[in-house]
Amino acid sequence: MKVPNSYESYLKQKRRKKFFILFAQISVFCLFLFLWEWLVSIGFLNEFLVSKPTAIFQLFLTYLESNSLFSHIGISVLETIIGLIVGYLLGILIAILLYFSDTLHRIIDPYLTVLNALPKTALAPILIIWAGTNMKGIIFVSISLSIVVTIISCLNYFHNTDKSYIKMLRALNATKLQILYKVVLPSNLANLISILKINIGLAWIGTIVGEFLVSRNGIGYLLMYGGMVFRLDLVMMGVFLLAIIAFLMYEAVNLLEKWLRRTRKHSIHKNNNISR
């Protein structure tokens, strides 16, 4: 079957626009690096305060040659992923429990509000003392930053699910567990993914703060050490590494979201064919 010319032109236009956006994004980044290097070279910016891209890249190569960089990256990524997954899944489970019990939700709700308002980074030293001055303490700080946000956000999404579907299932004598499984969770799939995306940043904040306090390894340790000895090239290298790794994690969640959507559409299409 031949695709209509109008549709072909639409697809070509869509591909061209996608390529243009990618090209513009890369160009802006390259222009930023060029201006940064140039402004430092002419003395407009102080190299001691802001470093420069070539110095950062040279330091990156030095750390690669010494084989110490991957150790720092691996430790930070491991701590962040564990904190992200545990905080996210535990937050969803607690939110589901509170969704099932309206009484328990009313009892816990003011405490959740207070916990969410507390500056958890300021409480990081206490949390690390409780959990231990090692990787376990850093992971505990990472979990603490994401779990309360996950609980509050999930509950909000659960309670704002389309009421018409819920009423229809209740009319069919469906249990609350069936309503959760058939309506609430599927209709909030995009919202749950968005919470996971937000938690990436929160988990990284917890990891870096924890490494500032107790770690002798990790990206947070490189940032802290660079600041202590006034090595801004080391600090900037750590910032760039954080940005790249966080971006890759964000893109991985985007791929997961696309896969889940395709799987759900395929399942719905299959069920519709069976019903016919």
Are residue 156 and residue 85 in the same domain, yes or no? Answer: yes
Cα gap 202→150, rounded to integer Å: 11
Are residue 88 and residue 173 in the same domain, yes or no? Answer: yes
- What digits encode the pLDDT tens for the residues 20-56? 888 898 999 999 999 999 999 998 888 888 888 998 8
pLDDT value of position 129: 83
Residue 268 lies in a domain: yes
Are residue 93 and residue 216 in the same domain, yes or no? Answer: yes
Residue 122 lies in a domain: yes
pLDDT value of position 266: 63
pLDDT value of position 83: 93
Structurally, the chain folds into a number of domains equal to 2
CATH number of domain containing 181: 1.10.3720.10
Residue 260 lies in a domain: yes
pLDDT value of position 260: 78
CA distances from 217 to 125, 130, 144, 255 (A): 18, 21, 21, 30
Which residues lie below 8 Å from residue 60, measured CB to CB, with a gap of 6+?
Answer: 69, 237
What SS3 class is residue 46? Answer: coil
Are residue 102 and residue 211 in the same domain, yes or no? Answer: yes
Residue ranges in the chain assigned as alpha helix (H): 5-41, 47-50, 53-65, 69-100, 102-117, 124-131, 135-159, 163-171, 176-179, 185-187, 189-214, 219-228, 232-275
Residue 193 lies in a domain: yes
pLDDT value of position 114: 87
Residue 51 lies in a domain: no
Are residue 17 and residue 83 in the same domain, yes or no? Answer: no
Q: What is the pTM of this model?
A: 0.82
Are residue 37 and residue 68 in the same domain, yes or no? Answer: no
pLDDT value of position 3: 47
Six token digits for residue 202: 């929160």
pLDDT value of position 269: 56
- What digits encode the pLDDT tens for the residues 217-249? 888 888 888 888 888 888 999 999 999 999 999
Are residue 240 and residue 200 in the same domain, yes or no? Answer: yes
Range of the domain at 191: 63-275
Are residue 30 and residue 152 in the same domain, yes or no? Answer: no
Are residue 40 and residue 139 in the same domain, yes or no? Answer: no
Residue 241 lies in a domain: yes
Are residue 96 and residue 150 in the same domain, yes or no? Answer: yes
Are residue 7 and residue 86 in the same domain, yes or no? Answer: no
pLDDT value of position 226: 87
Are residue 107 and residue 216 in the same domain, yes or no? Answer: yes
Residue 55 lies in a domain: no
pLDDT value of position 1: 47
What does the DSSP 8-state code read for residue 119? -
Cα gap 238→165, rounded to integer Å: 49
Name the stretches of the chain with pLDDT < 50.
Answer: 1-3
Annotate 90-117 with DSSP letters as a single string.
Answer: HHHHHHHHHHH-HHHHHHHHHHHHHHHH
Residue 57 lies in a domain: no
